[in-house]
A and B are shown apart, each in its own frame.
Chain A
Amino acid sequence: MKFILDYIRKDEWSPYVAGVLLGLVGIAAVWASDSLLGASGAFENIAGMIGKAVAPAAFDNMYFNFIMPPGITYGVMLVVGIFFGGMIGAATSGTLKWGKKDSANSDEQWKRIFGAQTWKRWLIAFFGAIILEYAAGIAGGCTSGLAISGGMLLAPAAFIFIAGMFVGGIPTAWLIYGKRF
């Protein structure tokens, strides 16, 4: 028992142990609610809600009416859960960043490579996030909704997507890290 509690309090688990947990969550999603995991779709639902409130005419299209209707969906609840899951995880290891000095630019390696300026981190992360969400739309899901959820059902799409992630990610990392790659 003490071993288990000590392990839960660790900041980082073995990725194999954490991976088993994620695998069980994937099974539970199908078993309990006949659904797949996924995060990117939730942002489409929320964007539709905001869009329809602010500019109803512009958002009155096939996508926001039928493909990804706005509203609090299963996917939105899942992302809310992920938010609190991250919070609980960090709380158990005493690594919560709320109110901490380094909360705005949270990674040491980033600062070593790109400097301590918060605006730089935020600007690049912002553009990265736009690209991620758009790409998830084209691909049919993100790391959770396509790579994990599709992969566990043995959908070819998932493995094509994972290959693509590396084909896109490796040269990008090589370019932005330069000599430090």
Chain B
Amino acid sequence: MLNFIFALVLGVFFGFALNKAGLTKYHKIINVYRFTDMTVLKFMMTALVVSMSGLYALRGLGLITFPNVPATYIVGNLVGGIIFGFGMALSGYCPGTAAAGAGEGKLDYLIPGLLGFLVGAVVYGLTYDKVFPVISALANYGNTTMPDLWNLSPFLTILTFTLISLLLFYMIERVGWQRKESNQ
């Protein structure tokens, strides 16, 4: 029960962050794929730097253990990601931003979004046993992390990711890795 209340509260902050980042707007999502607005990338990489630093620090201090790590099965992760990008470029949302946009009162998020996710979920659930066992068996490394898989120091892995992120942010903000919107 308490966990459900946590989920609700965490969800509120999550949806709030999505709204304030502007990701509940169609153009913010599509424009990352046109390189005219890199907000999605800045938002996600910042969130990753903060959360990976915090989580590995807390685990290092013995304050938390990690929940089940999402499984790595290269072909499925990649093919799923490609199809996901296709869907994202069409609709201009993903399941999380659609839920937040729906709360804002955007009916093009609430109705086709919710219905589409439910239809997709049904189709997936009914075809699961023909698709998932096959694709997840290919190049499957299990519930692993990069430090475990390659015997790296988590600290250096996070430091590397942070430096890559900062470099990318610099290139986007200062070196013009973001295209100008050609107004028509």
How far apart are the CA atoms of A107 and B27 in the complex, in Å? 7
Known: A30-B64, A86-B102. A80 touches B120 (CB 8 A): no
B52 within 8 A of A: yes
Chain A residues whose C-beta falls within 8 Å of the C-beta of B120 in the assembled complex: 43, 129-134, 137
Q: What string of 1s and 0s marks CB contacts (under 8 Å) between B21-57 and chain A? A: 1101111001111100001101111111111101110
* B11 & A26 in contact (Cβ 8 Å cutoff): no
B135 within 8 A of A: yes
Q: How large is the interface on A (under 10, 10 to 19, 20 to 34, 35 or more residues)?
A: 35 or more
Known: A36-B67, A64-B125, A152-B48. A47 touches B80 (CB 8 A): no
How far apart are the CA atoms of A17 and B123 in the complex, in Å? 38
B178 within 8 A of A: no
In this complex, the member of B104, B132, B136 whose beta carbon has the largest number of chain A beta carbons within 10 angstroms is B104
Chain B residues whose C-beta falls within 8 Å of the C-beta of A10 in the assembled complex: 20
Chain A residues whose C-beta falls within 8 Å of the C-beta of B22 in the assembled complex: 11-13, 15
A32-53: which have CB < 8 Å to B?
Answer: 32-37, 39-40, 42-44, 46-48, 50-51
Chain B residues whose C-beta falls within 8 Å of the C-beta of A1 in the assembled complex: none
B62-100: which have CB < 8 Å to A?
Answer: 63-74, 76-100
A residues lining the B interface (CB < 8 Å)? 10-13, 15-37, 39-40, 42-44, 46-48, 50-51, 58-59, 61-64, 67-68, 72, 74-75, 77-90, 95-100, 103-110, 118, 121-158, 160-170, 172-174, 176-177, 180-181
B residues lining the A interface (CB < 8 Å)? 3-4, 6-22, 24-27, 30-34, 39-40, 42-52, 54-56, 58, 63-74, 76-109, 111-126, 128-129, 131-132, 135-136, 141, 143-147, 149, 154, 157-158, 169, 182, 184
